[in-house]
Structure 1
């Protein structure tokens, strides 16, 4: 732990959500499998989930660069869903829009990693906790209800009008909480997210999620930066912040 990252050096511990708090790959793959079975599509659910997710950052990049107006993640996810299906030769033209929308909202119905809720519950007794995510408020609220995430506050990207790693995503979140950036910590399993948060003046904590992308994962197997805290999981983060 950084000498400056004492239990009282921050007021809020916020979390990247997709991959850090919830297991998006398993949840999305399960929804794809159900959808494919219902409609008689031949699809590898895990591969579909990975390809769908691979379009996530490129889709947000157009918003960050000002090439299109801000739209929320449901819009981007639906566009990416249709593009992924086309890429894999899956014709959705005969599928009702409502059923496509339900599949798209699989991102609202993701389960937490097994360690997450216990660790968040302990942190909640001492810090403001919430997501610092590219998800919008409705998505993150639905996810919290589905997974039982005990957030104090949910500040979606529709409120900050910025997508990470745009510095405004971090700075506007801190401002909404009426906190200076250095009193806010971001916990994430992704070095790129933490590096951007650190440049914006936030404290940082890394926890590994080696199964986020499945058995073939290569990204972020261990911390790749000088973060304030490196923990095994969310309960270990709570212990390091609170027990020293």
Structure 2
């Protein structure tokens, strides 16, 4: 399906769509664990940590705590709950800070950086993420992601899929929702974006959750664009290398 209105802004989901969080964390934690004497199945650990993410968000949307908790804080809270017992129960405060900060140093998928370099010559490109702004900035520097600006959940005091993020980003960039395209590897993110008037692009990341991934393997609806990867999206939008 072709875009229905001229697109001016491309907003990207980050974790899973632009960066390979799972492999990056496992690759970081394995040598760190060996150096510090922690015998852990790091793939299973990372999967369990990520699995705590959605329940945390659902609870937040029910309770709306103040002050607004950032993603760094949510990661720390879920980590502390996981480490009550098991091989990491003796992890120090410094150890726990290291584990949380590892989310700031994730590698982009191979197509991400070159695609953004092409896309930002014609469009405003920015992340729209549930990460906090400081995380997005340090992550962009680490992975060399050339954003024009960043939109973190803490800017809106809400988490996706709340409407304030999608419409708030459009408002701050002084464009109409239909002039914005949300790019994500997650069908639910795109459902929310489309409900608020944004155009949509699905990019499959079939190994985001590892070799046993069962969700978001394909586009589940007729999104504005379904691309093979971010470079394919650049081609479809006329941004050639």
Task: Give the TM-score of the pair, scaled to structure 2.
Answer: 0.94
Residue of structure 2 in register with 1:43 after alignment = 40
**In the alignment, is the contact (CA less than 8 A) between 1:119 and 1:234 conserved in 2?**
yes
Q: What is the Cα deviation at residue 102 of structure 1?
A: 1.5
Deviations 1:180-233 (A, max 9, x none): 211111100000000011101111000000010010000011100121000000
Deviations 1:135-193 (A, max 9, x none): 11100000000000010111211111111111222111211212221111110000000
Residue of structure 1 in register with 2:69 after alignment = 71
Confirm or deny that 1:4 pairs with 2:4: yes
1:36, 1:79 → 2: CA distance? 20
Q: What is the Cα deviation at residue 103 of structure 1?
A: 1.3
Confirm or deny that 1:191 pairs with 2:191: no
Aligned residues: 239
Residue of structure 2 in register with 1:242 after alignment = 238
**In the alignment, is the contact (CA less than 8 A) between 1:32 and 1:49 conserved in 2?**
no
- Structure 2 alignment gaps of length 5 or more: none
SS of the equivalent of 1:205 reads: strand
SS of the equivalent of 2:80 reads: helix
Residue of structure 2 in register with 1:216 after alignment = 212
2:97, 2:176 → 1: CA distance? 38
**In the alignment, is the contact (CA less than 8 A) between 2:182 and 2:190 conserved in 1?**
yes
Q: Which runs of 4+ in 1 moved over 6 A?
A: none
Q: CA RMSD in A?
A: 1.7
Alignment of 1:108-123 (within 5 A): 108-123=104-119
**In the alignment, is the contact (CA less than 8 A) between 1:11 and 1:127 conserved in 2?**
yes
1:243, 1:143 → 2: CA distance? 24
**In the alignment, is the contact (CA less than 8 A) between 1:160 and 1:173 conserved in 2?**
no
2:235, 2:194 → 1: CA distance? 22
Confirm or deny that 1:32 pairs with 2:29: yes
1:28, 1:91 → 2: CA distance? 16
2:207, 2:33 → 1: CA distance? 24
Q: What is the Cα deviation at residue 243 of structure 1?
A: 6.7
Residue of structure 1 in register with 2:168 after alignment = 172
> CA separation of 1:3/1:33 partners in 2, compared to 1, >3 Å: closer, same or farther?
closer
2:174, 2:233 → 1: CA distance? 24
> CA separation of 1:39/1:163 partners in 2, compared to 1, >3 Å: closer, same or farther?
same
- Structure 1 alignment gaps of length 5 or more: none
Structure 2 residue corresponding to 1:21, chosen from 18, 23, 29: 18
SS of the equivalent of 1:242 reads: coil
